[in-house]
Amino acid sequence: MTTKSESKLSLVTCADKDARLALDGGEPVRTEPLPGPYPGALLMGEEEEREVLEVLRSKGLFRYYGPEVLGKCKELERRLAARVGTKHALVVNSGTSALKCALFALGVGPGDEVLVPAYSYVATADVVLSLGARPVFVEIDQTMTLCPRDLAKKLHAGVKAVCVVHLFGVPADMDAILAVTRPLGVPVLEDCAQSLGAQYRGRTVGQIGDVGIYSFQLNKIITAGEGGAVVTSTPKVHERAVRLHDHGNDREGDAPTADMIGEGFRLGELSAAVLLAQLGRLDEILGRLRGAKRQIVGELAGVPGLELSKAPDPEGDAGVAVTFAVESAERAARMIKALNAEGIRVLSQYGGKPIYQQPAIRAARLEPEPLCPRTQDLVARTVFLGLSSTYTKRDVADVVCGIKKVARAV
Ligand SMILES: Cc1ncc(COP(=O)(O)O)c(C=O)c1O
């Protein structure tokens, strides 16, 4: 049954839906699978094919030399930097490689302390450990991103870097964060793996801190299956990232000799070609995601018992996901089960756990838990729905009906 307040506001009509939960033998809201959360991948087309064929036919699959060098990586770097608003961009083979390059470029090394949000994909903390440094976890707040108040408590002049993650496409509160870090001169890395094109108060994420990174893995906003990028306006940071990514070399710069140990993080021309075509679709992808999110969030606002995650600047949200918390982890688990039975695929992202409870990170740590009790509580009761760039009006309506139906019954 639709309540009075819902029917007044709602553009979506759920009246024809069976009120009995699919879990209890009712008819599911959705029987056809919904399109998945693969924003760039689902919109690939002729442009990507043309780009890839051009590279294949040239036989120039490597960025620095070959039978022919088409310069796809270089062109991608030029266009990414222009789009983000930084002086430099470096493309690499994954978001994880980009994170490692960025932290290394900021001077992070063995024994250093790096502050990271307690909730993110595990790579955010993995790279800190892989550089021999120590991740120190900071609470997140209802935006699901770094809490500036807890940051202020944990930051000191000896911290080597702060990593901010614009998780689920939602820009963190950068003004409040920089107000804490700038007086101490601690550099900020923006992990924009999930938020290419997101904006915070008119600025594109990635150019607000000292260095930014992106991922182009399959479920990211644009994709070549794998890939990543480092953006910065500081020449020294760019040069150090370039050298780490290519065995110590700076083939186009002033320091061509490999006098430092580096990695094999280069991106191939085929991937860059795909990403050039995908970057050309970025505005369309963001428009579709944002449109779907605006409608879903608008329909769910005011549904009793659902606390929709907040955004410091909702206009700039990339719109890759809708997340909401309920009053307990048990209710979240029941809702997730019920929604999946309705054909609406939701989950407890990252197992509903902070990074420090992920097994590999836990094994590397000594401090007693809980390190960030507020985060631990919040993420355990949060439900995550990854949005698709190809939702139709019907798909959006089904998502809304499914969540309302389950929220009433569970
Ligand atoms: C927040 C965040 N940081 C870093 C990464 C790592 O990116 P990749 O999978 O391209 O290595 C991801 C990937 O999911 C991510 O979500």
Mutate to test the pocket of ligand 1, among 164, 194, 271 (most ligand atoms within 8 A of CB): 194
* Residue 104 in contact with ligand 1 by CB distance below 6 A: no
- H or E element at residue 289: helix 282-300
| pLDDT, position 256 | 59
**Ligand 1 touching residue 228 (CB < 6 A):** yes
Rounded CA-CA distance 80/172 in Å is 21
The number of beta carbons lying within 10 Å of the beta carbon of residue 82 is 11
The fold of 4-40+282-409 is Aspartate Aminotransferase, domain 1 (3.90.1150)
DSSP state of 262: -
Residue with tokens 């000594």: 366
User: Which ligand 1 atom sits closest to the C-alpha of 99?
Assistant: 4
Query: What pLDDT score was predicted for residue 132?
Result: 95
Strands 228-232, 211-215: pairing kind: antiparallel
Please identify, by atom number, the ligand 1 atom nearest to the C-alpha of residue 96: 11
Residue 120 Cβ < 6 Å to ligand 1: yes
| Mutation test residue for ligand 1: of 92, 96, 146, 226, the one with most atoms within 8 Å of CB | 96
Does ligand 1 lie within 6 Å of residue 194's CB atom?
A: yes
Work out the burial of residue 370: count CB atoms within 10 Å of its CB; fewer than 13 is exposed, 13-18 middle, 19 or more buried: middle
Q: Which residues contact 392 (CB under 8 A, 6 or more apart)?
A: none
CA of 397 to the centre of ligand 1 (A): 30
- Buried-state track 373-399, b at ≥16 Cβ within 10 A, e below 16: eebbebbbbbbbbbbbbbbeeebbbbb
Beta pairing partners, 119? none
DSSP state of 82: H
How many CB atoms within 10 Å of residue 6?
Answer: 18
Cα of 229 vs centre of ligand 1, distance in Å, is 11
If one residue of 129, 195, 196, 215 were mutated to test the ligand 1 pocket, choosing by the most ligand atoms within 8 A of its CB, it would be 215
Q: How many angstroms from the chain centroid is the CA of residue 226?
A: 14
DSSP secondary structure of 74-111: HHHHHHHHHHHT-SEEEEES-HHHHHHHHHHHTT--TT
Domains in the chain: boundaries = 4-40+282-409, 43-279
pLDDT for res 5: 42
Output the six-digit token pair for 253: 């710069």
Fold (CATH) for 43-279: Aspartate Aminotransferase; domain 2 (3.40.640)
Determine if ligand 1 sits within 6 Å of the CB of residue 191.
Answer: yes
DSSP state of 196: T
User: 128 CA to middle of ligand 1, Å?
Assistant: 14
Residue nearest to atom 8 of ligand 1 (CA): 95
Residues 237, 210 contacting (CB under 8 angstroms): yes
CA angle (51, 35, 355) in 5-degree steps: 90
Query: Of all atoms in ligand 1, which is nearest to the CA of residue 120?
Result: 1
Report the separation in Å between the CA atom of 349 and the middle of ligand 1, taken as the mean of its atom positions. Answer: 13
Q: Is the CB of 349 under 6 A from ligand 1?
A: no
Q: Which pLDDT score, from 0 to 100, does residue 18 have?
A: 74
Calculate how far, in angstroms, residue 358's C-alpha sits from the geometric centre of ligand 1.
15
pLDDT in single tens digits along all 410 residues of the chain: 344 444 444 556 776 677 899 999 999 999 999 999 999 999 999 999 999 999 999 999 999 999 999 999 999 999 999 999 999 999 999 999 999 999 999 999 999 999 999 999 999 999 999 999 999 999 999 999 999 999 999 999 999 999 999 999 999 999 999 999 999 999 999 999 999 999 999 999 999 999 999 999 999 999 999 999 999 999 999 999 999 999 999 998 766 567 789 999 999 999 999 999 999 999 999 999 999 999 999 999 999 999 999 999 999 999 999 999 999 999 999 999 999 999 999 999 999 999 999 988 888 865 777 799 999 999 999 999 999 999 999 999 999 999 999 999 99
- The confidence score (pLDDT) of residue 118 equals 97
Centre of ligand 1 to C-alpha 385, Å, is 18
**Are the CB atoms for 111 and 333 separated by under 8 Å?**
no
